[in-house]
Chains A and B, each alone.
Chain A
Amino acid sequence: MYVAVKGGERAIKNAHLLLAAERRGDPAVPELSLAQISQQLAHAVDRVMTEGSLYDRELAALAIKQAHGDLIEAIFLARAYRTTLPRFGASEPVDTAQMEIRRRISATFKDLPGGQVLGPTFDYTHRLLDPALAEGSALAEPAQAEGGDAGPMPRVTDLLAQDGLIEPSPMADPDAPVGDLTREPLDFPAERDLRLQNLARGDEGFLLALGYSTQRGYGRTHPFAGEIRLGEVEVEFFAEEVGFAVPLGRVTLTECQMVNQFQGSKTEAPRFTRGYGLAFGHCERKAMSMALVDRSLRARELGEELQAPAQDEEFVLAHSDNVQATGFVEHLKLPHYVDFQAELVLVRRMREEVAAQDSGQAPMQEAAE
């Protein structure tokens, strides 16, 4: 009877054992290695690194394995580890113009300096399930570009900026501290650096839906994919002790620069505006969605009328984090006996009052004047 709510300790221990057994599955099937996850489920690893804000393929792969492939759970594991790490500074700004390009496309110009590089993409695959893949098969060697170095690949938005057709890219103040919403609570209205940090950590699905909503008319921004680039960039850190920037290593990034229409205002001539997206690894859908939402959230700064959810900073930034969202949604599983009991008492009392009223007995208490 009352013992039903007892024994939490043993139940938790047994649940953990059962969970571990379910993760492993049939012992006759070989166990996944982290290298397999990192290489063959690379996009899952990229997403965990991006939304977990932790660039470490091995830890991300471990998180995915431990989470049975539940990516939000894996992101949570990465975040809970990341938050314990000491923060010793901020890197120098990375220069994506110097990126070692693996893929670079522009939807605004047919050809441009450095050319279009299709690279590894699902874009033009036919989505037909491939039975041959089920067994694993030998692959043809991918083609290599001839002549090696394709020369410089300037960013499309930099080319547009030469004619003043697009707003200049805002330059960071080198002396200003770098905002970090994991160290200071987010305050509204938020500056763009913090908004971008929030979006970079934000849930891919949430940003995808918001970005999509702007395309369907809820805060339309007339976007063009000015450029999407994927490749490796070097990260440098200014070391006080030696007095110059030292390379820390290389990271893979996906960058998306959206080019959006701007009607102009009383004081400004019409010109294109920017929306920016950046993600670790190869996360094109995320980078594009982020760029759409970034541009929408600039409505206030650009003097546009605020009318759609994607333009509402408090709405977007307060609900983008999937670790927070999943926690609060799933916390409904926790016991709420006490609150429910309080509601039961209240609902029973209100029903009694209604019943009494219906049967013409004691009239309902008069409201306060």
Chain B
Amino acid sequence: MNAPAYNFAYLDEQTKRMIRRAILKGIAIPGYQVPFASREMPMPYGWGTGGVQVTAAILGPGDTLKVIDQGADDTTNAVSIRQLFAKTAGVCTTTHTAEATVIQTRHRIPETKLGEDQVLVYQVPIPEPLRFLEPRETETRQMHAHADYGLMHVKLYEDIARHGHISTSYAYPVKVDGRYVMDPSPTPKFDNPKMNDCAALQLFGAGREKRIYAIPPHTTVVSLDFEDHPFEASRTQASCELCGADDSYLDEVITDDRGGRMFVCSDTDYCEARREARP
């Protein structure tokens, strides 16, 4: 039996080149979903194989990698992905947002403002923002080609007609650079404004669905809304019980079986930095 040998950052160089081409195309057409020949990864589909492939393709030996899941560095899957790259690429890893050059994320955008020398890689389960309105890929690709987003606006309108407000709380659709409607991945809509005019390059990888898309730095990203029902970035009206932050996205932690609960920052690095800075 031949013992398997793996390349730097797991993927072979030809695969990385193919992925980089898709990334470059994505950057050239902001918000457009570029099909790519996604590979089987040594972790299951749904665990971030798209993000991992994008990270593997852009990672160099000098990079410092941060991986978060639900905003936290210590959730099991974030730990697992960080270990994969520490093992196969030997890169430095960090939990500090400001120190990282590449940040792979699932479901959150860090609270700390990102800079020009950083890349944010999102793990995306369903890249097609129109998928739950139209299940067929052949149809949705045409709708994007014609910028035919009427169906989406009707859906948002129906929400307002029924509930008085838009009842989408995460994976809230955005329009990128005035052209493509894009799924921001299942981040809470609280994070949507951070995507607009972001200094960092934002890359999105969907492994199972075989799509890559991108938002170049300083691109206009607008959450879909109506003039009389403007977009609202909602969060629980509370402060973090650990660091006192009243501007961060909060996790609700159930503390007993009598209705006791506390709210803490979902972004663990942000929370820890604030606690350390306290006198």
What residues of chain A have their CB less than 8 Å away from a CB belonging to chain B? 1-2, 4-9, 11-12, 58-59, 62, 76, 79-84, 86, 182-189, 314, 318, 323-324, 326-331, 334-339, 341-346, 349-350, 353, 364-368
Contacts and interface: CB of A to CB of B under 8 A. Distances in A.
B277 interface: no
Contacts, number: 168
B174 to A, nearest CB: 15
A329 B47 CA distance: 11
A342 B45 contact: no
A326 B77 CA distance: 17
Given A337-B70, A341-B250, A345-B236, A368 B44 contact: no
Contacts of B38: 185
A343 B188 CA distance: 9
Interface string B62-80: 0000000111101111111
Interface in B73-120: 74-80, 83, 106-108
A346 B210 CA distance: 31
A341 B187 CA distance: 11
Contacts of A4: 253
A222 B157 CA distance: 47
Interface SS majority for chain A: helix
21 contacts: A5-B72, A59-B1, A62-B1, A82-B40, A84-B4, A182-B37, A185-B35, A314-B136, A314-B137, A323-B45, A327-B45, A328-B46, A330-B44, A336-B186, A338-B108, A338-B186, A338-B187, A339-B107, A341-B188, A349-B234, A367-B160
Contacts of B70: 335-338
A339 B229 contact: no
Interface of B: 1, 4, 6, 10, 12, 35-42, 44-47, 49, 69-72, 74-80, 83, 106-108, 125, 135-138, 157, 160-165, 167, 169-171, 186-190, 208, 210, 226, 228-229, 234-236, 242, 249-253, 255, 262, 264, 266
Contact of B137 (A83, A183, A188, A335): A188
Given A328-B45, A342-B189, A334 B69 contact: yes
